[in-house]
Copies of this chain bind each other. A is one copy, B any other.
Amino acid sequence: MPPTVRERVRAELTAEITAAARRQLAEVGAAALSLRAVAREVGMASSAVYRYFASRDDLLTRLIIDGYDALGAAAEDADDPDAPPRERWLAVCRAVRSWGRAHPHEYALLYGSPVPGYAAPRDTVPAAARVGVVLGRILGDAARGGALPEALGGDRDPELVSDETAAVLGGEHAALDDAVRLRALLAWSSVYGTISFELFGHLVGSVTDTDRYFDLAMGELAGLVGL
């Protein structure tokens, strides 16, 4: 049956609250995001917001999921399946960095210090995996196309990287070499480390041309995973 008017209004108001919260987040960051300020912007009493989000952390969790989804979508959009693997890798890395530079506070919320208690709610996992899926599909396609050396000479170490993650990282090409699994995970950590260092200010004064530095670094990482 169609949604009742009540449900529609409720959904719209929920969206309006999250939109206001996202604006607040972009302006002042997650630490200073105030539920009362969001309520003021939407134009209702702070207590009324609690009809829609049980707590400030719940609202933040909503923003985290949305952030992962937006970042994942940016990565997916940047991937052209017909391009050569190395180009695909570089394009997706650049897209992730661009998104981070455009939304520094959101990026910090996703990949910075975990703000709430210390537990990432389970709901965030699928959304968080999207970027990994994109990078993994590139590796899997490259492996299927024979562009990836099957044995890189690393130690065999089955089960170090769990099968489910390996499946993600390798797309449908589940039989990726153990060493490739390891390097793929390391490469993704390194992409994240590089972008975070730049966004969090650890590179100021060290690198003059951050664009060029990033491209060269991502090229090195592409070489590391065999692309």
Contact = CB atoms under 8 A, between A and B. Distances in A.
Interface residues of A, number: 52
Contact of A193 (B30, B182, B196): B196
Interface string A132-169: 00000000000000000000001101011110110000
B157 A200 contact: no
Contacts of A217: 182, 185-186, 189
Given A154-B216, A193-B189, A224-B224, A114 B207 contact: no
A98 interface: no
A34 interface: no
Contacts of A207: 160-162, 165, 185
Contact of A216 (B115, B182, B206): B182
Given A111-B200, A216-B154, A161 B193 contact: no
A182 B185 CA distance: 21
A124 to B, nearest CB: 10
Contact of A186 (B159, B161, B220): B220
A160 B209 contact: yes
Contacts of A154: 216, 220
A208 B31 contact: no
A189 B14 CA distance: 39
A81 interface: no
A161 B197 contact: no
A61 interface: no
Contacts of A120: 201
A6 interface: no
Contacts of A50: none
Interface of A: 29-31, 108-109, 111-115, 118-120, 125, 128, 154-155, 157, 159-162, 164-165, 182-183, 185-186, 189-194, 196-197, 200-203, 205-209, 212-213, 216-217, 220-221, 224
Q: What are the nearest 3 A-B pairs in CB distance? A: A193-B193, A112-B113, A190-B190
22 contacts: A31-B113, A108-B113, A109-B113, A111-B200, A111-B202, A112-B200, A120-B201, A128-B202, A157-B216, A159-B208, A160-B208, A161-B213, A162-B208, A185-B203, A186-B190, A186-B220, A189-B190, A189-B193, A189-B217, A190-B193, A191-B193, A193-B193
